Amino acid sequence: MSRKPKICVVGSINMDLVTTTDKMPDQGETVMGKTFATYPGGKGANQAVAASKLGAGVTMIGAVGDDAFGHTLLTHFENEGILIHGIKTCPNRSTGIATIILSDHDNRIIVSAGANEEVTPEWVEENKEAILNCDLVLLQFEIPMETIQYTTKLAHDNGIPTVINPAPFQEFPSEILNQSTYFTPNEIELLSMNQMAKIDHVREKMIVTKGSQGVQLMDEHCQIHQIPAFDVKVEDTTGAGDTFNGAFAQELAQGVSIKEAAYFANAAAALSVTMLGAQGGMPTRQEVESFLKEQEQQSKFT
């Protein structure tokens, strides 16, 4: 990697409370769990860590509570080499929480926003120098929509590209659609986006993640490309999409093509599902490059 790209992530910070069980409970049902653990999480934080592990210089803009989880997460960011001057500590709010149930290689998640609701346009304005000095801004939908709209406009007006992961999906103003550079919906999120009036005018912005079917995108020449998924042993799908987004943003900020960025990000996401935990499975750049070399060597003998 010739230079270290700078990415500003504006998004959520959570502590994930993860329970594994042999059976996903039905409504009203109680089942016995197998294990319980806590992991750093939140889509914004996950994507920041993914980009940092792959070589980007990352600044996080977000918020945590003045509680044990918040203090632990701030230390975790520092250990991951992520700049934290854009993270607000809120004395009257709890740190965001995600309650995750894992069963049979699938997951169900409930998110309690907590301090993430304090990531306001005013807080972004206070930290706008981080945005103005970065190569790319990465956002998700776990913070207030008005903040996403404000940040997108700030980046757009200053010629800074944005990648928006529209998850969890909610309706959003058409200005965000027009002013953003790329969106990274999964298939379900894309179905919701297809209901928007101006979606047909921005198809080239859609980088669609399709799980076991890989990634679909349209390049700068309006050609549709399907990037196949890699065949790996799945341990935990939590954080795969966030790994993809962090890797995709990192590669774009590095200056590679959309197709190359999506291919690299697809490999990073594949590696991430082979380990437990959203951030625990996120690979380094060396690990992704080694994995891709192995894939190329295997393809020569098949």
Q: Which residue out of 16, 135, 236, 242 is catalytically annotated?
A: 242
Burial of 154 (0-12, 13-18, 19+ CB in 10 A): buried
Which residue is it, tokens 């690979």?
283
Is there a contact between 62 and 82 (Cβ–Cβ < 8 Å)?
no
Structural element, H or E, at residue 90: strand 83-90
**Residues 275, 237: Cα–Cα separation, whole Å:** 9
**Residues 60, 116: Cα–Cα separation, whole Å:** 13
242 is catalytic: yes
Which residue is it, tokens 């990352």?
58
Sign of the torsion angle spanned by Cα atoms 168, 170, 176, 178: positive
What secondary structure letter does DSSP report for 181?
S
**Residues 60, 130: Cα–Cα separation, whole Å:** 9
Q: Which amino acid is at 212?
A: S
Q: Provide the Cα torsion 242, 1, 131, 203; round to 10°.
A: -60
**Residues 237, 281: Cα–Cα separation, whole Å:** 10
Q: Which amino acid is at 99?
A: T
- Residues with catalytic roles: 242
